[in-house]
Amino acid sequence: MKRRDFLASALTVTAGSTFPAGLGHAAAVSAVGPKGDKVSLSEKAVADLQKSIKGSVVLQDSPDYEEARKIWNGSFSKRPAVVVRCADVNDVASAVQFARSNNVLAAVRGGGHSYSGQSTTDGGMVIDLGAMQKAEVDTGTKTCWLQGGAQLGNLDRAGAEHGLATTAGFVSHTGVGGLATGGGHGRLMKKFGLTLDNNLGVELVTAEGKIVKANAKENPDLYWAVRGGGGNFGIVTNFHFQLYPMDPMVSSFAYTFPIDAAMDVMKFYFDWDASQPDEVASSLGLRRSAQGEASVSIGGTFIGTPAECEKAIGKLVGYGKPTVGRITAANYVTMQAAADKIYAHGRYYYSKAGFFNRIDDKLPEVMLDYFMKNPMPRGGISAASHGGKAARVPMDATAYAHRDAKYQISVSVDWDKPEDSDTWLNYSRNYWKVMQPLAEGGFYANTIDDPREEEIRKNFRGNYDRLVEIKTKWDPTNFYRLNANVRPRQKT
């Protein structure tokens, strides 16, 4: 299939399925503008939008509004005035033009997995790409075209059908839209780079509602910015990713130790991990079970057979007295979806995380101390190893500025009842208070909760000024503002 046909055959959503234009809607829809100002959308304007798109316009009194307004994180139960469920790139452009000409605050939803709820809004408009999930692999070039609302599972599965793969995150229902514009850490990143390193080009809807391409030749400034600058520069409606030959079977390893051994295990881990090849993606976790039982574990993935894995991970095999110690063959795509149910839609989630460029001597002790003194069932902390190919890309080659990160350490919590929110928020925030002084590498913009402008500036490091230039050129009114926001320069 040619690329043009691929775009034309984008998944269609039944037109007008939720908006009975002119059939009893209130004359106008109340909404909010970018600065929280009140905006009134005329019935005609909304009806015209519906007529102009293949997808559907969902209003608060539409039968499928409840489902359409939800995002993955149950902590953000917001009520947008309008949800535009886009079926193709033209719908996305129409939605952007509508939001602009009616001065409505717009949120962009790819997979809806924003930890901080950026992909929804109270009273604004959601431009939802969730129906745009098509993936098409070109086996000749070993590349994949992937629509901007696709989930990581679409990418993993499409590649695996042809013995190909590229880096994606750990939960298969996460959206590629947010992940690949902001970063893209995953099991394969040491071998193949971040997801964004494998972005060969995009089709994107600008803040003016124009459809443009961005790649090494066309609009290279935009291409640079959408690899790490998140949703600041436009809505990606199609990604073009590099894939690599990879056997669908890889290896998984897991070693769990009694908590009494935690200090030694942690020191061993950071030392051992530093010598691991690019084929090994590992992490260390301090965890309590639901019954409160604590343990420390080292686990990960190896690209290769269990026999090769055993050789590669060397000293870990035979280290200490694990209660569990195993290396197993695993189907990569199955493994990528193994945690999907734990991270189910609608539960409550929060995460505090940061990059660590070196392991301070005090770090294991600080990690362990809070964990032991706050024995919260299901609580814990993890350190995921970075490096390899992702670290060999120059810091200014893309907007992503954390090539020197050795680990991302996270306190990620989840719970089921709203009344438990304070307990979990306090647990993770207080844990992070003790960790943060050691996290000199900044934070992952994709998981941060509402950072201030100054923090964002610092976090993009030497790339920030260039991002401001590009933002000022492509989005001078800061139309795309619900994100780790890079503000355009103000006119003087």
Interface with ligand FAD by CB under 6 A: which residues? 71-72, 108-115, 118-119, 129, 148, 169-171, 174-175, 177-179, 181-186, 230-231, 235-236, 343, 446-447, 482-483
Q: Which is nearer to ligand FAD, 179 or 316 (CB)?
A: 179
Q: List own/partner pairs for 450-455 with CB under 8 A and 24 or more apart.
A: 450/116, 451/484, 453/485, 453/487
- Residue 183's nearest CA partner among 214, 153, 228, 146 is 228
Q: How far is the CB of 480 from ligand FAD (least distance, A)?
A: 7
Q: How far is the CB of 23 from ligand FAD (least distance, A)?
A: 31
Q: How far is the CB of 112 from ligand FAD (least distance, A)?
A: 5
Q: How far is the CB of 11 from ligand FAD (least distance, A)?
A: 14
Report the C-alpha gap between 467 and 486 in whole angstroms: 7
Q: Which is nearer to ligand FAD, 184 or 364 (CB)?
A: 184
Q: How far is the CB of 79 from ligand FAD (least distance, A)?
A: 16
Taking a C-beta distance cutoff of 8 angstroms, is the pair 194, 183 a contact? yes
Report the C-alpha gap between 82 and 26 in whole angstroms: 14
Q: Which is nearer to ligand FAD, 184 or 209 (CB)?
A: 184
Q: Which is nearer to ligand FAD, 154 or 294 (CB)?
A: 154
Q: How far is the CB of 19 from ligand FAD (least distance, A)?
A: 22
Q: How far is the CB of 385 from ligand FAD (least distance, A)?
A: 13
Q: How far is the CB of 331 from ligand FAD (least distance, A)?
A: 18
Per DSSP, 487 falls in state P
Q: How far is the CB of 276 from ligand FAD (least distance, A)?
A: 19
Q: Which is nearer to ligand FAD, 109 or 134 (CB)?
A: 109
Q: Which amino acid is at 52?
A: S
Q: What angle do CA 61, 97, 109 make, to 5 degrees?
A: 60
Q: What angle do CA 256, 270, 272 make, to 5 degrees?
A: 80
Q: Which value, in Å, is the radius of gyration of the alpha carbons in the chain?
A: 23
Q: Which is nearer to ligand FAD, 319 or 355 (CB)?
A: 355
471's tokens: 């933002």
φ, ψ dihedrals at 250, nearest 5°: -125, -165
What three-state secondary structure class fits 272?
helix
- Residue 266's nearest CA partner among 352, 386, 361 is 361
What three-state secondary structure class fits 271?
helix
**Cα–Cα distances in angstroms (integers) from residue 157 to residues 167, 331, 387, in the given order:** 12, 11, 25
Q: Which is nearer to ligand FAD, 218 or 260 (CB)?
A: 218
Q: Which is nearer to ligand FAD, 317 or 393 (CB)?
A: 393
Strand partners, 144: 137, 241
Report the C-alpha gap between 227 and 229 in whole angstroms: 6
Q: Which is nearer to ligand FAD, 54 or 109 (CB)?
A: 109
